[in-house]
Homo-oligomer: A and B are copies of this chain.
Amino acid sequence: MSGEDAPAQQQNDVDQKQEKPAEEPKAETPKADPAPAAAAEAAAAPPAAADKAPEEETFTYRALVLTGYGGYDKVKLQVKKGKPALKAGEVLVRVKACGLNFADLMARQGLYDRLPSPPVSPGMECSGVVEAVGEEVTDRKVGDKVMVLNRFGLWQEVAVAPASHTFLIPEGMSFEEAAALPVNYITAYMMLFDFGNLRPNQSVLIHAAAGGVGIAATQLCKTVKDVTVFGTASASKHETISEGGVTHAIDYRTKDYVEEVRKISPKGMDIILDPLGGSDTHKAYNLLKPMGKLITYGAANMLAGQKKNLLAVAKNWYHQFSIHTLSLIQGNKSVCGFHLGYLDGETELITQTMNTILDLYKQGKIKPRIDSTWHLEQVGDAMRKMQERNNIGKVILTTEPMPEEEKKEEPKKEDKKEDKKKEDKKKEDKKKDDGKKEEKKDDKKKEEPKKEEKKEEEKKEDAKKEEK
């Protein structure tokens, strides 16, 4: 996967215009800007009209771009030119890490209508440092460490978003954690506590309990007294999810999860989180107790293989759950649909929820679990890992440049998938331990050295793989 130079016009049909060289650049006030060279130089230079053109020409950044619908290779790493102009209320963020979400996988196959047509940069969440602020931005300043939530466009080294879509990263949270938090935790929180109205002594069925939302939901369930969590995942992940708070781990690959749940809880569930869609939504509905709530938030069953699988899509549509009110009334049941991607107008609601989540983080009650971190060049592998359900926790992209030697080794990773899984598990355990240590530190503004350490680890592990 090689970097390509994206023509500037390519992005122009996108809602959120990130490149408008013709537009008058907004005044920026980079006071204590700790950001990279290009911006710093620009700030140092006198703001004469003559200097604008050179700055915009010399400013380049790498960006992942969905070039068309299809397989993993449709997301390409390109180099964009020119500093994005900021509108009033927007900030420019130097991105450190990005989160991968299921919607990104759907989008790549053309199954997610919140992403504009290709070519377009995907990415709904990232973390980074504010590098410039637009007019009317009062609550963010250059140098702020932030996480960003946006409809798309965040898988880039430099991203533009409304300041209201950014949240300050709390002390002690790494950029990876910050990139892992927004989508999964807001989704899990709103489903469980807004629609689900989770209360003590209730039972919750979490599908894909080892996924990003699954782990977030499990942790959030544990903030309520005596909640019983049923979690589905393949057997190899049971130990990890049980440690994370799942009361009853169920291997959906070898067992009928409905039967397993009924064995333990004959009356059924109070809340079911359903990311699967299709026939699994029907099963979930029938598994609800009276006053139970089914919250469906995806159609993962549609994803079969790299490219759009028409049979899977048709099957999902055919089995799509449709409910009559009379059945709801007689069953005393609730069916809810959730997707954060369709809530982008609800800034106040999202901010409120995010503040609650960050409080829980500060109290040590939740902590994002990073499955693995990948370079932008490795986005295909990162997506594959998630789509093939080989992750436990969040899959993260880092904007750190990829060392030359790793690039050469890359293809080998795919050859030994099983070994890789084990390695990932080890790496995770190590990171978890690191995470615990980190929590104890009070002041850790310097993120860079830690990343370097991790990269050293990764190198060592790749070396180990070589030995096998």
Contact = CB atoms under 8 A, between A and B. Distances in A.
A138 interface: no
Residue of A194, A197, A320, A332 ringed by the most chain B CB atoms within 10 A: A332
Contact of A326 (B195, B320, B324, B325): B320
Interface string A347-371: 0010000000000000000000000
Interface in A281-301: 281, 290-291, 293, 296-299
A321 interface: yes
A449 interface: no
Contacts of A343: 290-291, 332
Interface of A: 190, 194-195, 197, 277, 281, 290-291, 293, 296-299, 320-339, 342-343, 345-346, 349
A291 B330 contact: no
Contacts of A333: 336-337
Given A194-B291, A197-B194, A342-B290, A334 B331 contact: no
A337 B328 contact: yes
SS of A interface (majority): mixed
A337 B327 contact: yes
Contacts of A330: 337, 339, 342
Contacts of A298: 329
A195 B331 CA distance: 13
21 contacts: A195-B291, A195-B293, A195-B334, A197-B197, A281-B325, A290-B346, A290-B349, A291-B343, A293-B334, A297-B329, A299-B326, A320-B325, A321-B324, A322-B322, A323-B323, A328-B336, A329-B337, A331-B337, A332-B337, A332-B343, A333-B336
Contacts of A323: 322-323, 335
B334 A291 contact: no
A269 B369 CA distance: 36
B349 A325 contact: no
A350 to B, nearest CB: 10
Q: Kindly report how many copies of this chain are found in the complex they form together.
A: 2
Contacts of A194: 197, 291
A194 B332 CA distance: 11
Contact of A190 (B195, B291, B328): B291
Given A290-B343, A291-B194, A346-B291, A325 B332 contact: no
Nearest to A321: B325
Nearest to A340: B332
Contacts of A328: 296, 335-337
Contacts of A339: 329-330, 332
Contacts of A281: 325
Given A281-B325, A321-B324, A329-B297, A335 B338 contact: no
Contacts of A322: 322-325
A326 B106 CA distance: 14
Given A320-B326, A334-B335, 17 more contacts: A195-B291, A195-B293, A197-B197, A290-B345, A293-B334, A297-B329, A298-B329, A299-B326, A321-B324, A322-B324, A328-B335, A329-B337, A331-B337, A332-B339, A333-B336, A335-B335, A335-B336
A193 to B, nearest CB: 8
A468 B452 CA distance: 95
Contacts of A190: 291
B337 A325 contact: yes
Contacts of A331: 337, 342
A428 to B, nearest CB: 31
Contacts of A291: 190, 194-195, 343, 346, 349
Nearest to A327: B337
B346 A329 contact: no
A335 B334 CA distance: 6
Given A320-B326, A346-B290, A334 B334 contact: yes
A326 to B, nearest CB: 7
